[in-house]
Amino acid sequence: MIEHLGIEFLEVHPEYFTARMPVDHRTKQPFGLLHGGASVVLAETMGSIATMLVAKDPETMKAVGVEINANHLKAVREGWVIGTCSPIRIGRTMHVYDIKIHNEQGDLVCVSRLTVAILSA
């Protein structure tokens, strides 16, 4: 899915993680706008990877999204969207993330909250 949608990882910091995704034929809905589902894929991908980055033993653990919500705030027709994933809570078996997606002009496009369960692999 990551390759198919053209998601690229940009920065990894202790407080946040960033990635971007093109708005093109792979990520648009029939009316030529960024598909809301593509934004949700970006958000869940970022939260799952953020979980694995802080996992104590990534070889024996896996991240599984258990709940995600998204508010789509502004349409995007072309270019790139950039996601910033920040932890709200990092627990032993559950992580919660805030993911904000902006367009290239810095306008907020989508706000998402993701809950990830940490399971034994």
The dihedral built from the CA positions of residue 39, 103, 32 and 26, taken in this order, carries a sign that is negative
Looking at residue 40, its amino acid is V
Please identify which of the residues 3, 15, 44, 59 carries the catalytic annotation: 44
Q: Residue 2 has which token pair? A: 């990551």
Q: Compute the half-sphere exposure of residue 70: CA atoms within 13 Å on the CB side of its CA.
A: 21
Q: How far apart are CA 87 and CA 120, in angstroms?
A: 21
The answer to whether 68 and 40 are in contact (CB under 8 A) is yes
The answer to whether 103 and 81 are in contact (CB under 8 A) is yes
Q: Is 78 among the catalytic positions?
A: no
Could you list the active site residues?
A: 44
